[in-house]
Amino acid sequence: MVAKVKKQRRSFIVIFSAIVLCACLAISLISKVNAINDKKEEIAAVESVRAEMEAENKAYYDKINDGDKDEYVEEIARDKLGYVMPGERVYQDVSVND
C-alpha cells in the first residue's frame, strides 16, 4: 500500500515536471518566433532603404556619365558647399514665415 502511494507520487512528480518543462519550452519557442519576425521586419526596412539608395546612386552615376558632369559639380558646389562664382552676389531671404 505504501509502495503504491510512493509510486503514484513519483508518477505525479514526473508528469508535473514534464508539463512544466513543455510549458517553458513553448514560452521560449514563442519568444524566439517573435524575435525572428521582428528581425524579418528590420531586414525588410533595411532592404527598402538600400533599394532607395541604389536608385539614388544610379541617378548620380547617370548624371555624371551623361556629360552633365560640369553642371552637376557646380550644383553640388553651390548647394552643399556654399560656393559662389567670382563676382557673384548671393542674397538670402531672412524673413522666414514659419
Per-residue pLDDT of 15-63, as tens digits, reads 999 999 999 999 999 999 999 999 999 999 999 999 999 999 998 888 7
In this prediction, residue 27 carries a pLDDT of: 96
Which range of residues forms the domain containing residue 23? Answer: 2-79
* Residue 36 and residue 44 in contact, taking contact as beta carbons nearer than 8 Å: no
For residues 47 and 23, what is the distance between their CA atoms, to the nearest angstrom? Answer: 36
Residue 26 lies in a domain: yes
For residues 29 and 21, what is the distance between their CA atoms, to the nearest angstrom? Answer: 12
* Residue 52 and residue 58 in contact, taking contact as beta carbons nearer than 8 Å: no
Residue 97 lies in a domain: no
Band (pLDDT 50/70/90 cuts) for residue 1 is low
In this prediction, residue 19 carries a pLDDT of: 95
C-alpha cell at 52: 532607395
Residue 93 lies in a domain: no
10 pLDDT exceeds 80?
Answer: yes
Q: Of 62, 60, 97, which is closest to residue 80 (Cα–Cα)?
A: 60
Q: How many structural domains comprise the chain? A: 1
In this prediction, residue 30 carries a pLDDT of: 97
Residue 42 lies in a domain: yes
